[in-house]
DNA sequence: CTATATACGGAACGCTGTTCCGTTTAGCAA
DNA sequence: TTGCTAAACGGAACAGCGTTCCGTATATAG
């Protein structure tokens, strides 16, 4: 144990901060791990063993643990990434479809995200510190995305105005959260459809004055 | 592996059914296990290791597993027992206190049961077959108990009538379910108090005609 | 091309739930 | 009281988990 550090020169590339450039294979492995983990979680649930993920990603467990300090962090990273992907899907949809259709398609997309996350609710309530950042992150990314779609559709007169994005997001999420069996999923699907139809009730039918 | 059974005489004590009398030590160990498990679950959560329970109960793990085929069955058995204890607490309370006070004390008792069950919600959503019988059992035992207290208090004019026992039970349960930190518990406590006060609003103030 | 910080792989550890089987014992009959 | 036996016990052993550790391999700067 040396008492002094070997003069780390305290800066790097463009002379500002502290981080080195990441090695190319490391970045590639990180991407592969995130993608593989997402697939495994979707098919086997978030309780899938880390060894299975490492194996399917074609890396050793040591590699997995260098990128994520523990399995909870890996799960959280996957969720964050999927939240981002879902949020980012709003803009292209808005550009390619009429307002209500874009809104409808995005909610479908969001349902697709929530429904495949078996064990998400349990994970959130587990008290693990790694999951604490997820609800804020969800709110920060998803609510503005949904609000934009709602506003656009309302301005076009295709849905009523005054619907709160946070409420709608939570409602749809709750309907699908902790759905385990097929009849439950069918019931949830019907309820979400009802919710969306409800948005159209009381719409003006024409662009706002 | 013998092909024929050794003539089990097909009946027992009072000549009716099929079960033998259980050995005394077996019964004693079963009781000890249930009680110890309840204490351990209350202090460490339902994820406590089975070895810890067996050790604190002063038995081997083999003994634990003879009485319960797996840990989920043990957890379910503890919950069933506590549900029964909670239901059975209603009658003595009704006999020893005025109607509204009895109702209030029982709800406090119920809260004490729900609040200490960290991980119960997650367990119920886990999809394990051992837990499937718990919600029906809760409904069958707790709803009549609460309904009796509500009816008595309503008849005495101490609370309004027409409050559904199932609704109230679920409301109180939801408020405390998945409460992990102290501020959450305080908030839940206040909300339950509000609920109980709400029962008194619109009461006649005198026994029904 | 060489040197080295960086990243990799997987054996190994400690902790789970669960199984298995040799040993002990409660309860009955003589 | 003393055997006898089915019933119950105890805990070593196994498989699978998350996580740690460290010798080995390699991407990349100079």
Using alpha carbons, select from A113, A93, A112 the residue that is nearest to residue A103.
Answer: A93
Using alpha carbons, select from A85, A88, A86, A96 the residue that is nearest to residue A152.
Answer: A96
Q: What is the pLDDT of residue A10?
A: 39
Is pLDDT above 50 for A30? yes
Q: How far apart are the first and last CA of chain A?
A: 74
Contact A40, A56 (CB under 8 A): yes
- Band (B19; pLDDT cuts 50, 70, 90): low
Say how far apart CA B147 and CA B70 lie, in whole Å. Answer: 35
- Residues 6+ away with beta carbon under 8 Å from B204: B157
Selected for mutation to probe chain A from B125, B176, B177, B182 (highest A CB count within 10 Å) is: B125
| List of B residues 13-52 with CB within 7 A of strand C | 21, 23-25, 47-52
Note the residue count of chain B.
209
CB contact under 8 A, B122 and A127: no
Is pLDDT above 80 for B172? yes
CA distances from A34 to A25, A59, A124, B184 (A): 14, 12, 19, 34
Q: Indicate the range of A82-86, B168-172, B187-191 predicted with least confidence.
A: B187-191
Selected for mutation to probe chain B from A46, A127, A177 (highest B CB count within 10 Å) is: A127
Q: What is the pLDDT of residue B4?
A: 33
Would you call A4 exposed, middle or buried from its count of C-beta atoms within 10 A (0-12, 13-18, 19+)? exposed
Q: Indicate the range of A94-98, A173-177, A191-195, B152-156 predicted with least confidence.
A: A173-177
Task: Show which positions of strand C are touched by protein (CB under 7 A).
Answer: 5-12, 15-21, 25-28
Q: What is the pLDDT of residues A135-152, one digit of tens each?
A: 999 999 999 999 999 999
pTM for the predicted model, two decimal places: 0.81
Average pLDDT over chain A, rounded to an integer? 87
Rounded percentage of chain A residues whose pLDDT exceeds 90: 64
């Amino acid at each position: 144990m040396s008492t002094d550090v070997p003069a780390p020169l305290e800066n790097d590339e463009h002379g500002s901060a502290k981080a080195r450039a990441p090695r190319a294979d490391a970045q590639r492995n990180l991407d592969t791990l995130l993608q593989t983990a997402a697939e495994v979680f979707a098919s086997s649930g978030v309780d899938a063993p880390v060894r299975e993920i490492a194996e399917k990603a074609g890396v050793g467990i040591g590699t997995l643990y260098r990128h994520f300090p523990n399995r909870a962090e890996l799960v959280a990273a996957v969720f964050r990434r999927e939240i981002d992907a879902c949020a980012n899907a709003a803009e292209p949809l808005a550009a390619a479809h009429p307002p209500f259709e874009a809104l409808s398609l995005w909610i479908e997309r969001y349902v697709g995200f929530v429904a495949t996350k078996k064990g998400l609710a349990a994970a959130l309530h587990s008290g693990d510190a790694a999951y604490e950042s997820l609800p804020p992150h969800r709110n920060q990314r998803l609510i503005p995305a949904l609000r934009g779609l709602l506003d656009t559709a309302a301005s076009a007169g295709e849905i009523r105005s005054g619907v709160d994005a946070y409420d709608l997001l939570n409602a749809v999420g709750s309907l699908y959260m902790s759905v385990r069996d097929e009849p439950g999923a069918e019931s949830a699907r019907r309820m979400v459809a009802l919710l969306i139809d409800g948005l159209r009730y009381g719409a003006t039918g024409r662009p706002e004055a």
